[in-house]
């Protein structure tokens, strides 16, 4: 009973953070299950996959209702992520995992620097509203109501090929290294494509659910998903994601960025050190 209660509480926390930041709860759930509860890593990863689907389901319903996520961008960029994930799975063993961990780790550290620079930019959050031929062709520009600012925000984006390549790299990293790519997805939209942070996070939540659903089938048939762990965790995550989706809409982008920065900094340091054979 105590373990079930702990799983529920952990699920709520992971769901709240996952929905706000668009990164899923895997980076919280997997370490807690393995280090604190002594669970085998394969069962922890299986439970984490289920929690990502629950986060996506809980938050996407709220974001769709409030027109926060950009469905066209999600479907367009998911093509790149899926292709990258398939290629990564096929190329496992071809590339040195140590080199890849260092490469992606340093990319996250560089992205942290860019996020910090945006945080201290005296101009504040800049919304790109210009025209881009690819954005216009695929009708990717959209609008959302920012409850923290209490106004409608129209936005466009640029450098779609750069974001598409980043999404492909995110999928490749997932396939090659077996890591979640939510942080890369948010970075691709927010930093590269200049999409506002809130719709970037909301759109990432939807995309993660699509990717995780494809992976879940494999984990289910190889016996890595234990219902006694995944079920209470998923219930907690579903509740947390619903709460997180509501919270995100009233938070200022600056606050979301302040939460996001230490997380991607930790992920970047962890991946870089893992590449050099140091685990934290």
Smallest Cα–Cα separation from 81: which of 258, 195, 215?
215
Sign of the alpha-carbon dihedral angle for 251, 253, 254, 260? positive
pLDDT of res. 165: 94
pLDDT (tens digit per residue) in 92-146: 677 777 888 888 888 889 888 988 888 887 676 789 999 999 999 999 999 999 9
Smallest Cα–Cα separation from 26: which of 176, 181, 169, 177?
181
Residues of the chain with pLDDT under 50: none
Dist CA 232 CA 7 (whole Å): 6
pLDDT of res. 124: 66
Where does 138-237 show beta strands of DSSP type E?
A: 142-146, 151-155
pLDDT of res. 241: 92
pLDDT of res. 103: 85
**Following DSSP, what letter does each residue of 15-52 receive, concatenated?**
HHHHHHHTS-SHHHHHHIIIIIS---HHHHHHHHHHHH
42 within 8 A of 5, measured Cβ to Cβ: no
pLDDT of res. 88: 80
pTM for the whole structure: 0.86
pLDDT of res. 223: 84
pLDDT of res. 53: 86
């Amino acid at each position: 009973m105590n373990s079930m209660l702990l799983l529920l509480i952990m699920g709520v926390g992971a769901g709240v953070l996952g929905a706000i930041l668009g990164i899923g709860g895997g980076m919280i759930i997997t370490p807690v299950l393995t280090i604190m509860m002594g669970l085998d890593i394969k069962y922890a990863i299986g439970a984490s996959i289920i929690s990502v689907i629950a986060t996506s389901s809980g938050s996407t319903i709220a974001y769709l209702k409030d027109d926060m996520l950009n469905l066209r961008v999600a479907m367009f960029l998911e093509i790149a992520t899926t292709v990258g994930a398939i290629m990564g799975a096929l190329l496992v063993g071809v590339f040195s995992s140590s080199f890849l961990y260092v490469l992606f780790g340093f990319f996250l550290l560089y992205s942290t620097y860019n996020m910090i620079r945006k945080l201290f930019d005296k101009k504040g959050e800049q919304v790109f509203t210009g025209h881009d031929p690819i954005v216009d062709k695929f009708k990717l520009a959209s609008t959302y109501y920012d409850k923290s600012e209490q106004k409608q925000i129209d936005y466009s984006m640029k450098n779609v090929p750069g974001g598409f390549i980043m999404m492909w790299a995110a999928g490749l990293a997932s396939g090659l290294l077996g890591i979640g790519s939510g942080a890369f997805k948010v970075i691709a939209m927010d930093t590269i494509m200049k999409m506002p942070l809130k719709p970037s996070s909301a759109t990432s939540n939807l995309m993660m659910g699509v990717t995780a659903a494809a992976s879940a089938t494999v984990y289910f048939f190889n016996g890595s998903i234990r219902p006694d762990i995944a079920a209470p965790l998923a219930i907690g995550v579903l509740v947390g994601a619903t709460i997180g989706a509501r919270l995100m809409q009233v938070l200022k982008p600056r606050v979301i960025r302040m939460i996001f920065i230490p997380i991607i900094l930790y992920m970047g340091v962890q991946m870089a050190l893992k590449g050099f054979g140091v685990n934290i």
